[in-house]
A and B are shown apart, each in its own frame.
Chain A
Amino acid sequence: SQQGEEDPQALSIQEGENATMNCSYKTSINNLQWYRQNSGRGLVHLILIRSNEREKHSGRLRVTLDTSKKSSSLLITASRAADTASYFCATDASGGAQKLVFGQGTRLTINP
């Protein structure tokens, strides 16, 4: 089974609103990453947060990590039509296997 599970599976909001996506995982991790995938394309790395970090920012993106709850959230502020994509969390399990385990993703639609 997948390590990461995103919630919600689909999210539709108006341009300019904020979008929040959540990710839960099952085992101890070294780090957690968020990726974006536009339809039919490869994944684009957004942000990496390590297990000893609680919050990280990159432009309009804010990621939080709660290792006690085994969960993470991705906040996109002031959404734009170009943010329409699928968003995946991926965990790098403890042990240094460098094997990313992806969740099923959240399909985000930004309506103009």
Chain B
Amino acid sequence: EAGVTQSPTHLIKTRGQQATLRCSPISGHTSVYWYQQALGLGLQFLLWYDEGEERNRGNFPPRFSGRQFPNYSSELNVNALELEDSALYLCASSFNQGGFGQPQHFGDGTRLSIL
């Protein structure tokens, strides 16, 4: 069974540009989560999608957005990139069983570097 896959592995952008990160969940998982792991700040929850809908959002500005497609894959878009957006962006997937807590399965992330 394939795990969570993320692309690209690395992405280099300059300030003001836009970045698109992609994630394919484990087959059968309907929930996709996005996290930001910046140096010294730990993992910060960004977004949760399930069945194509945004279910929860972390404390990030609106220039962080995303969507989930009918095949449950997901995109994270970051507009007007700033230097502090440099981080490892991790995607995770899980079954959604009504909030009773499911292990989340992570991809290896996209390293976004802003020059």
Decide if B96 touches A44 in the complex (CB within 8 Å).
Answer: no
Q: Compute how far the CA of A101 lies from the CA of B53 in the bound complex, rounded to whole angstroms.
A: 21
Compute how far the CA of A42 lies from the CA of B109 in the bound complex, rounded to whole angstroms: 6
Whether A92 contacts B101 by the Cβ 8 Å rule is yes
B residues near A31, Cβ cutoff 8 Å? 100-101
| B43 and A88 within 8 A (CB) | yes
A13 partner residues in chain B, CB cutoff 8 A: none
Give the distance in Å from the alpha carbon of A31 to the alpha carbon of B104 in the complex. 13
In the complex, the chain A residue whose C-beta lies closest to that of B90 is A42
| CB within 8 Å: A-B pair count | 67
B103 at the interface (CB under 8 A from A): yes
Complex alpha-carbon distance, A103 and B48, angstroms: 19
Size category, B interface:
20 to 34
Contacting residues, chain B, for A102 (C-beta < 8 A): 35, 42-43, 45
**Residues B103 and A98 in contact, CB atoms below 8 Å apart:** no
Contact between B45 and A105, CB atoms less than 8 A apart: no
Pairwise interchain contact B48-A99, C-beta atoms closer than 8 A: yes
B66-115 residues at the A interface, CB under 8 angstroms: 88, 90, 92, 94, 96, 98-109
Residues of chain B at the chain A interface (Cβ within 8 Å): 4, 31, 33, 35, 42-43, 45, 48, 55-56, 58, 88, 90, 92, 94, 96, 98-109
